[in-house]
Homo-oligomer: A and B are copies of this chain.
Amino acid sequence: MPTNQSWYLRKRPVGEVSQGDLELVTEDMPALADGMVRVRTIYLSLDPTHRIWMSDMDAYLPPVELNTPMRGGSIGVVEDSNSAAVPVGSLVNTGLATWALYNDLPGDGVTVLPVIPGLPLTAFMGPLGATGMTAYFGLMDIAKPKPGETIVVSAAAGAVGSMVGQIGKIQGCRVIGIAGSDEKCRWLTDEAGFDAAINYKTEHVGAALDNHCPDGIDINFENVGGEIMETVIARLNDFSRMPLCGLISTYNADPSTTTGPKNFDTLLMRRTKLQGFIIIDYLDRFAEGAAAMGQWLMEGKLKFETDMVDGLENAPTALGRLFEGANLGKLVLKVSEPPA
């Protein structure tokens, strides 16, 4: 009977997640129930939305209850199985599980991953995972880009943003990314093929957008919110689209202090379609998204990076990298070794 390690949510964070908000608990595991599989976590996905789940706001999923394991998705290997469909040794995507070394999950609730020669397992955390699907459906299903249009994406070097921009290029669009370091901006233009990238920490974003978007902005793929969002909204074209994917700049904020974009009326004047979306609403279309993204990956059209942090014990501090803008690409916590 293995011993498990799980991060329990002890307090709702105020501002950034800090010590004492979560506690790493070691505990014995019960026997594996019928129909269940025991998955050893290899890679735990750390995502901005985890900060939402820790708060008690009225979000798209209920808050994680205090004194229960923190919610999270992961990729792991099945070490024990009471489900005929999922044999021991299978590599699986857990869907929603917890920040833990082991998760016992219904066999029919996990997705067995294909082994594709040459494709690293981390691809299933990135382009073929929830963040890749977020980029795919947010851009293709909501924004519906047309060749020649201009797309601006914030948090462009993140797991979602980096895919949005590259899909936009595949669609024949002009793509401008906004990111927080020169290193990220170089990666966006030199590796990911963005037309331009703006370092919002050192450049005047409005002037840079004016320079890089001479025909205005047709699509704002919004991941961040705040002043940069206002700066982009101010340059939207008539009949522009704005997939509202995330507002990471607000997730650590006191809700009583947050405001909407000052130029909200621009959404009326420009006849913008703004659409909030959450990737869990697209679960039944993942096969479609994965087929498209997988094809582009095999054609070498999608570059992706993984920001890998080692050790379950580092989960809370690793999460902070998203809010500091430290990660280039998908932030992944390596919890245990993948199979050789």
**Residues of chain A at the chain B interface (Cβ within 8 Å):** 57-60, 225, 238, 244-247, 250, 258-278, 281
Closest to A274 in B: B274
Q: Which residue of B lies closest to A271 (CB)?
A: B276
Verify A281–B271 contact, CB threshold 8 A: yes
CB pair A272 B276 closer than 8 Å:
yes
Cα of A59 to Cα of B268 in the assembled complex, Å: 9
In the assembly, what is the distance between CA of A269 and CA of B262, in Å? Answer: 20
Check A260/B258 contact, CB under 8 A, given A273-B274, A275-B271, A275-B273.
no
Task: Give the oligomeric copy count.
Answer: 2
Q: How far is the CA of A247 from the CA of B261 in the complex (A)?
A: 14
* A247 close to B268 (CB less than 8 A): yes
Looking at A250, A260, A273, A278, the one whose CB has the most chain B CB atoms below 10 A away is A260
A272 to B260 CA separation, bound complex (whole angstroms): 15
Cβ contacts under 8 Å, A259 to chain B: 259-260, 262, 264
> Given A261-B260, A262-B259, are A276 and B268 neighbors across the interface (CB < 8 Å)?
yes
Q: Which of A238, A264, A268 has the most CB of B within 10 A?
A: A268
- Chain B, residue nearest A234 (CB): B58
Greatest chain B CB density within 10 A among A58, A225, A246, A264 is at A264
A258 to B265, CA, bound (A): 9
A77 CB to closest chain B CB (Å) equals 34
Q: Is the CB of A246 within 8 A of B258?
A: no
Whether A271 contacts B277 in the complex (CB less than 8 A), given A247-B265, A265-B250, comes out as yes
Q: Inside 8 A of A276's CB, which chain B residues have their CB? A: 267-273
Report the bound CA distance from A258 to B268 in whole Å: 14
- The answer to whether B271 and A60 have CB atoms under 8 Å apart is yes
CB proximity of A257 to chain B, nearest CB, Å? 9
Cα distance A28–B265 in the bound complex, in angstroms: 40
CA distance A60 to B225 in the complex (A): 24
- Most chain B CB within 10 A, of A238, A259, A262, A276, is at A276
